[in-house]
Structure formats: C-alpha cells, structure tokens
Homo-oligomer: A and B are copies of this chain.
Amino acid sequence: MGAPVAIVMGSQSDWPTMTKAAAVLEELGVQYDARIVSAHRTPDRLHSFGKGAADEGFKVIIAGAGGAAHLPGMIAALTHLPVLGVPVQSKALSGMDSLLSIVQMPAGVPTGTLAIGDAGATNAGIFAASILALEDEALAERLKAFRQAQTDKVAEKPVDNP
C-alpha cells in the first residue's frame, strides 16, 4: 500500500520549506509521497490529484504554497480527506498573503492551517502523524516519545553561548 501522507507544493521553490514536513514524518516513521502540484500552472494535475487522492490511498494531505496560495483550498475542494495547509513565507508580504489565502476558507470546505514557514511545515508533519496515530498504536507511542523528547530537551536556564 502507498504512503498515507501526501506532501504537495506549488513549486520547487517551496521545497526548502516543505522538506521540514518530510523530515519530521521520517523521524516519526510515517511514509509520505512528495509532489509538485501547481494550482496555477498545472490545474489539470491539481484536479486529478485532488479527485484521486483517496483512491491513491492517501489519508492526509499536506499542501504548501505562497502568495495567492490556492493549492490547499483547491485540493480540499476536490477531496473529503483532511487537508493541512502550510503558508510559505512570501517575498513582499512575508506570508501574510499566503496565510489569509489558505485559512480564510468559506464554510463547507476546510483546510487546517499551520504557521507561516518552516515551523508550519514541521507542524503539518506532526499534525498528520497525530491523525494517523488515532488508529496506529505504535505511531501513537512514537509520537508521544517524540513529544517527550522535545520536552526533555528544554534546558532549565538560558545560556549566553548555546
């Protein structure tokens, strides 16, 4: 069976951000398939990807895009699977355009939106894992261990030259 998570992005230039989602999924032992699907330059690919995502075996879709970021919302329009949106930081408006384009969806077609940029991509990976962990006890344990390790790594006191 195929990977349960699709990581799609509007352009090769989004990969340095979206690779953070891939990295955390690898760390959590979750398989993913990373693809470029441009809402604007490859609308047919978008249409067939969105329509076929469930049949491909995907359970969660992570979609990242910047500026007038239509990818997450358009995929959400084409599938009933949960779609997570990552606003990629844009040049002029620092991702505020990306954020609003992704999060302000009308009632009926949701995207679950994460933070702008790298943190959002990492968190999209963790969020996808938290969904899959609902029916995967081993993943749930790995996720809890990941979260605990993260907690344990927080030092008690700040230092001047870390």
Chain A contacts to B: CB under 8 angstroms:
9-12, 14-15, 18-20, 34-36, 38-43, 45, 47, 50, 59, 66-68, 70, 73-74, 76-78, 80-82, 84, 89-97, 99-119, 122-124, 126-127, 130-131, 133-135, 140, 143-144, 147, 150-151, 153-160, 162
* With A36-B158, A41-B109 already in contact, 10 other A-B pairs whose C-beta atoms are closer than 8 Å: A34-B157, A40-B105, A40-B106, A67-B105, A67-B119, A70-B70, A82-B134, A100-B100, A104-B116, A131-B134
Task: For A35, list chain B residues within 8 Å (CB).
Answer: 156-158
Residue pair A38, B154 in contact (C-beta under 8 Å): yes
Task: For A43, list chain B residues within 8 Å (CB).
Answer: 47, 50, 74, 77-78
Closest B residue by C-beta to A46: B77
Closest B residue by C-beta to A82: B130
Residue pair A92, B116 in contact (C-beta under 8 Å): yes
Task: For A131, list chain B residues within 8 Å (CB).
Answer: 82, 131, 134
Q: Which 5 A-B pairs give the minimum distances between C-beta atoms?
A: A112-B112, A110-B123, A15-B158, A40-B109, A97-B100
